Amino acid sequence: MRRGLSLLALVVLLVGHFPGCKSPPAKEIRIGLITPLSGDVKTFGESVKNAFEVAVEEANAKGGVAGMKIATFLVDDRNDPTEASNAANLLINQHGVKAIVGSVTSKTTIPVSDLAQSLRIPTITGTATNPKVTVADGKRKDYMFRACYTDSFQGTVMAKFARGTLNATAAAVLYDASNDYSKGIAEVFRDAFVRMGGRVTAYESYGKDDVDFSALLTKVKAAKPDVLFLPDYYNKVGLIAKQAKETGFQGALIGPDGWDSPELVKVAGDAIEGGYFSNHYSPEDTRPEVGNWVKKYKEKFQQTPDALGTLAYDATNMLLEAIRKANSADPGKIRDALASLSGFEGVTGKFTMDEHGDPIKSAVIIQIKDGKQKFLQVVNP
Ligand code: PHE
């Protein structure tokens, strides 16, 4: 009797594993993710990992793409360029991935893009905004794509906001000379601000490991700027903001997308209150795509998705859509399909890639109010 029951249980179990008429997809396609899960921008990496996994899970739940189940391989680059390049090598040469999502910051994505280009593996970053991600020495890296606008746009947006909305006539800039993103956007902001009739009264750089900014901030204060532009990631920005307040700096603090982390306010405290930064999306956007995404993400991870996760979700879905269109796991065919995607409807908007593989899309400006991110305005290209 007992034996009979357990046999029945076994049959039920087996049936449960091979449900009904739909047979499991015979093939798989391997996709890699490179993201910083440790180091100075850990919150960026975690958001990107979460969002990537949601996109893949959703596709696999529908049977995969182009008849293939998606198998994923994840590597932590610790926001270090050498680690990132090793990660790309490992994914392509050891794990045999046919496409990569990553990396997250520009300084790690530039070496990844060079490698992806030379090994001909289509790669898409959600978040790396520096122009050099898709272009090297004036030449398009045609295996590289992104789901975000570039720093040429973002830097100009913030210069215009400072001049036009904040009525700033003098600006100061502090940047990390060792970081492509920080240095690149500092230059764009400076040139745009001057072109718009403003004056840059202090333009100073620091190093990657610096923690004491008092000497630089004394110079900044003496230059009497209306705004201080801080193009860096949240941990550094938090530290600088705190010290700026201690120095008695009174002007407005402004910056780019690198500020987007709940950690910023934790590090800076009220020194960052009232500051403004450009970002890629706002959870307060009333479009249904945004509402659905925010709801889904909150249910799963108990937090509001930041721009990084949201862009990674869009980037992953763009790649999956390209694989569907290519109807193949061939990297060259996936690349061609990515290049020809037009009118892609993502959470961050509907967009088409330009000839450099860079989407044309709008930015949002966020203000830190009562320690929270508050949506202020949309800026169109
Ligand atoms: N744009 C940043 C870079 O290129 C990364 C980033 C994107 C940070 C979005 C925050 C939000 O390094």
C-beta 174 within 6 A of ligand 1: no
pLDDT of residue 13: 40
Domains defined along the chain, listed by start: 2-149+288-361 (3.40.50.2300), 151-279 (3.40.50.2300)
The protein residue with its alpha carbon nearest to ligand 1, atom 11, reads 257
User: Rounded CA gap, 128 and 126, in Å?
Assistant: 7
pLDDT of residue 107: 97
Asked whether 226 lines ligand 1 (CB < 6 A), one says no
The model's confidence at residue 26, banded by pLDDT at 50, 70 and 90, is low
- Per-residue pLDDT for 295 more than 60? yes
Residue 145, both tokens: 């794509």
Question: Given this model, what pLDDT does residue 23 score?
Answer: 53
Q: What is the pLDDT of residues 34-48, one digit of tens each?
A: 999 999 999 999 999
- Cα dihedral value 157, 160, 164, 167, nearest 10: 110
Residue 100: in which H helix or E strand, if any?
strand 99-101
- The residue with greater pLDDT, 350 or 79, is 79
pLDDT digit string, tens, across residues 34-85? 999 999 999 999 999 999 999 999 999 999 999 999 999 999 999 999 999 9
Rounded to 10 degrees, what is the CA torsion of 306, 307, 309, 312?
180
| pLDDT computed for residue 352 by the predictor | 85
State mean pLDDT over 357-362.
90
In this prediction, residue 16 carries a pLDDT of: 38
Ligand 1 atom 5: residue of nearest CA: 105
Q: What does the pLDDT average to over 220-243? A: 98
Is pLDDT of 20 > 60? no
- Per-residue pLDDT, 353: 85
Find, among 158, 374, 368, 376, the residue nearest to 265 by Cα.
368
* Percentage of residues of the chain with pLDDT beyond 90: 90
Percent of the chain with pLDDT over 70: 93
- Give the pTM: 0.92
d(CA 111, CA 88): 9
- Beta strands 144-146; 170-176: pairing state: unpaired
Report how far apart, in Å, the C-alpha atoms of 42 and of each of 86, 103, 184 are. Answer: 19, 13, 22
Q: Which atom of ligand 1 is nearest to the CA of 261?
A: 10
Ligand 1 contacts CB of residue 261 (under 6 A): no
Whether residue 381 is predicted with pLDDT greater than 90 in this model: the reply is no
Q: Give the confidence band of 8 by pLDDT, cuts at 50, 70, 90.
A: very low
Ligand 1: nearest atom to the Cα of 129:
4
Q: Is the CB of 314 under 6 A from ligand 1?
A: no
Section 122-143 average pLDDT: 97
Cα(36) to ligand 1 centroid in Å equals 12
